[in-house]
Amino acid sequence: SIMVGTGRAAQLGVLFRRSEALQQLRDARVVAFDKTGTLTQGTPTLTDFILDDDFTHDEVLGLVAAVEARSEHPIAHAIVAAASEAGLPLDEATEFLASAGKGVSGRVKGRWVEVGAMRHMGHVDFSDFGEAIATLAAQGKTPIVVAIDGKPAAAIVIADPIKPTSRAVIAALHEKGVLTAMISGDNRRTAETIAAELGIDRVEAEVLPADKVATIKALREAHGIVAYVGDGINDAPALAEADIGIAVGNGTDAAIESADVILLGGDLRGVLNALAVSRATLRNIAENL
């Protein structure tokens, strides 16, 4: 029965909050994944720092860390950690502004500091960094740019390693006849590199947080029933919009509220367990009719 199915799933660390989700999952045509923190570890580190001649490394890192100290983003955590490791003092930032999926800005020691995705900083000419940025993005790293008082100051590169199980989970989904997709706010080249490493079928990159729901709807129109796997930080509406919302990891309260399925412990192989239990349970019910 469905009860037996949800019970067996629970033993595997897969909690079905709605028993209907057990039935729907069997028929999922697409499994879409959030990138950061779901397919990747979600705890990025700073790997490269490309500096304009008019600035010094410590000056720029210190100013940027002061602004990022006010952001909750994993990129912000990576930058603050790098400044701390470099032994830089953390200055106060005022006039702080965060633009979801784009970047942050603020005033530090009288200077106006802007940091974020290059495509959202069209008012500053970063063409001197263009080639280096393209090369690093093609390695699957995330480049962000820094402007100080409106001048291009640096490109900072962040790397977020892929989780060890992600590739096998994608391959197993393909074997089960399911299409895979990745949804990310990251730039297209970085997202496409990571998707290629994972063997993912469809990549939706440069998606603003507010547009994730529309992306899920489009996947449904194109392919059918959509399961969405996310960590719930920033993507509770996408979890709610998907036919089956699957929250991984130490999900936030918002994620748990919005999800149909919770994978305890954050192991993505839970997606395969959930699908296997769903298919086996419904097969069993059909046989016993």
User: What is the contact surface with ligand A99 in residues (CB under 6 A)?
Assistant: 34-37, 42, 68, 71-76, 101-104, 115-117, 142, 144, 184-186, 209, 231, 233-235
CA distances from 114 to 55, 65, 105, 271 (A): 15, 11, 4, 39
Nearest distance, CB of residue 161 and ligand A99, angstroms: 14
Minimum CB distance to ligand A99 smaller for 190 or for 281: 190
Nearest distance, CB of residue 227 and ligand A99, angstroms: 17
Nearest distance, CB of residue 137 and ligand A99, angstroms: 10
- Find the catalytic residue in 34, 160, 186, 231: 34
63 φ/ψ angles, rounded to the nearest 5 degrees: -65, -45
Minimum CB distance to ligand A99 smaller for 76 or for 277: 76
Q: Which residue is nearest to ligand A99 (CB)?
A: 185
Nearest distance, CB of residue 68 and ligand A99, angstroms: 6
Nearest distance, CB of residue 2 and ligand A99, angstroms: 32
Residue 267 annotated as catalytic: no
Minimum CB distance to ligand A99 smaller for 65 or for 178: 65
Catalytic annotation, residues: 34
